[in-house]
Amino acid sequence: MHMKKFLLILSILSFAIFAEEKINAKKPNVYMGRQIAYTMHSSAANWLTRTNREKEESVEEMIRAIELKSGMIVGDVGCGNGYHSLKMAKLVGEKGKVYCVDIQSEMLKLLQERAKKAGIKNCVSILGKYTDPMLPKNSLDLILLVDAYHEFTDPEAMLKKMHESLKADGVLVLIEFRKEDKKVPIKEDHKMSKAQIQKELSANQFKLVRSYDQLPWQHMLIYGKK
């Protein structure tokens, strides 16, 4: 294995272990045959804004693929320090809004600092719960979940609340590292297969609308309400 690639994999795995030990008191449950992953702690937030993230995940391409428009009301659940939230905020513009949800107040503080520095004023921070993202009902055009859903300790409760928050024609966008691809250097609990995603979402009143399969490491699946 090329040394540079080996060091990348090692750094990612070391980060994952460090972050997991910081926030979870016990191992999460199993849901529909899937081991729920540990939650990443805010002390590892710098990993979310690492310089090589664009190369690894093609974030700009992903953002274009979700087709945001000016004036849209969107949510970023599991927003962390706002890596995706701020990008979306610029695209939906002053007439739009981004609800930025995280269960760690420190993550939201980091997001607010980054938004202030960038002059972005249409991000609304929400301290969510493990069972409820605390989003307004029937209000959102789109909810984005980037490498977050697999960490939800209560997927059913969260999916129910997000379903309630979407407008009738709103969509839920799931981005998850591909479990089918052994070359993706992410811990197995932090990956999901297409089959598993479909199994869980279809059981919770969501229907697959379309998928985007061009990202380097991740699935991108877009769901509407059944």
Query: DSSP assignment of 178-219, as one string?
Result: ETT-TTS-S-GGGEE-HHHHHHHHHTTTEEEEEEE--SSSEE
What average pLDDT is seen over the chain?
91
Q: Domain spanning 3-225: which superfamily?
A: Vaccinia Virus protein VP39 (3.40.50.150)
**Can you give the pLDDT of all 226 residues of the chain as single tens digits?**
556 655 554 555 455 454 554 555 578 999 999 999 999 888 878 878 888 899 999 999 999 999 999 999 999 999 999 999 999 999 999 999 999 999 999 999 999 999 999 999 999 999 999 999 999 999 999 999 999 999 999 999 999 999 999 999 999 999 999 999 999 999 999 999 999 999 999 999 999 999 999 999 999 999 999 9
Helix (H) or strand (E) holding 16: helix 3-23
pTM: 0.89
